[in-house]
Structures are given as structure tokens and as C-alpha cells.
Amino acid sequence: MKKFTIATYLRPATVSDVFDHKDAIIENKQFFYQQQDGTIYGPQRLQPVKVQAARSMWKSDIPKFIAIQKQEMKAQLEQYQELYLWLGAQKMFVVDSFRYQESIAIHLKVKEVAEFDILECNELIQHTAFFRYEEKSTKGPFYITDLHSKKSFRTLIQFKNMFVFDRPGQIKIVETNTAAEAV
């Protein structure tokens, strides 16, 4: 399995990177986080806190269910607040192939994709970032959506033209944009 390092950019995440049009957290989207000491770590998949929906149950189970649901709703609210704090402080990043004023140039490790990197329970993992190798260069990131089929990805895997993020770790920063560079 091939692994190599590509040069790309991280940009601060925006609200639309984290939340969909219904204000729900985009599940499995991959982000990078800036830690207290300034190092950037990632990628990490975003997993929203799930709240159990009401269902048919015995009358005696209702108080217990309501207590559990309240705890889950509180955890979900805390997760939303934490995400907004990270976004506001610009300590949450996404990979972008374009350079913006606030972008950070990085070296990112990628690996040749295996089916378990993009499939879970025989379904594509939505919002997984991937890169394609074409004509001696990488293109991307692209994201898996519900419009993609497993068949098209199996072809990319078979021809060894698809790469995904390697395991999480500290990211090597090549350069950052400063006010002096922007002038």
C-alpha cells in the first residue's frame, strides 16, 4: 500500500463546513484542530451526539426515557456550543486545494485507499475526503456524497488512483500567511 506526502492548504472551517442546511452537524466530515500549543492535529471525523427518538414503550419506562433524553439533549447542546467556540476562535480547519489569505500551507500524509477506508456496513462513508492521482499529480480533496456509487470507487481502488488521509497525527506546517506577506 503506497503512502506519500502531498502539499496542500488548510483553511479555517466555516459554519457551512460543519453544519448542513438544516443546522445539523455534518456527520463524518474530517477536520483538523489547532491545539493549545499551536500544533495542528488531525484528521478527526465529526460525530454528532445522537438523541433517542420517542418510541412505543411501557408507561413505567417513560420517566427513565425522558431522563436519558434530557441528558442526550444537554450533551448535544454542549457539542454545538463547543463547535461554535472552535469556529469562532478559528482553531478548526478543513483541507482545501485553493490558497486563501488565511490558509496555512502544509504537508499532509495520504495513503492508497482500501475499502474499509470508505465503506462501513457495505455503505459509503459520506463526507469522506479523498484525492485522485492523475497524470503524475494529485487532485482534490473531493468528498463522498450520496450521488456516488460503490462501483465507481471500486474502479478507482482497483487502478490505485484514490488516496485518503493517513491516520491522525501532528501536521507539518510549511508556512503561514502573515500580515507582512499579505502586503
122-181 residue pLDDT tens: 889 999 999 988 877 888 899 998 888 888 888 888 888 889 998 888 887 876 554 333
On whether residue 111 sits in a domain, the answer given is yes
On whether residue 144 sits in a domain, the answer given is yes
On whether residue 72 sits in a domain, the answer given is no
Q: Is the pTM of this model over 0.85?
A: no
On whether residue 57 sits in a domain, the answer given is no
Q: Which residues contact 99 (CB under 8 A, 6 or more apart)?
A: 9, 105
On whether residue 27 sits in a domain, the answer given is yes
On whether residue 84 sits in a domain, the answer given is no
In this predicted model, which residue has the larger pLDDT, 136 or 64? Answer: 64
What domain count does the chain have? 1
Structural domain range at position 117: 3-49+91-182
Asked if residue 3 has pLDDT above 90, the reply is no
Angstrom distance (rounded) from CA 84 to CA 92: 10
How many other CB atoms are found less than 10 A from the CB of residue 33? Answer: 17
pLDDT confidence of residue 175: 67
pLDDT confidence of residue 11: 94
On whether residue 9 sits in a domain, the answer given is yes
How far, rounded to the nearest angstrom, does the alpha carbon of residue 44 sit from its chain's CA centroid? 6
On whether residue 121 sits in a domain, the answer given is yes
pLDDT confidence of residue 23: 87
- Can you read off the three cell numbers belonging to residue 36? 493549545
pLDDT in tens, 25-46: 999 999 999 988 888 999 999 9
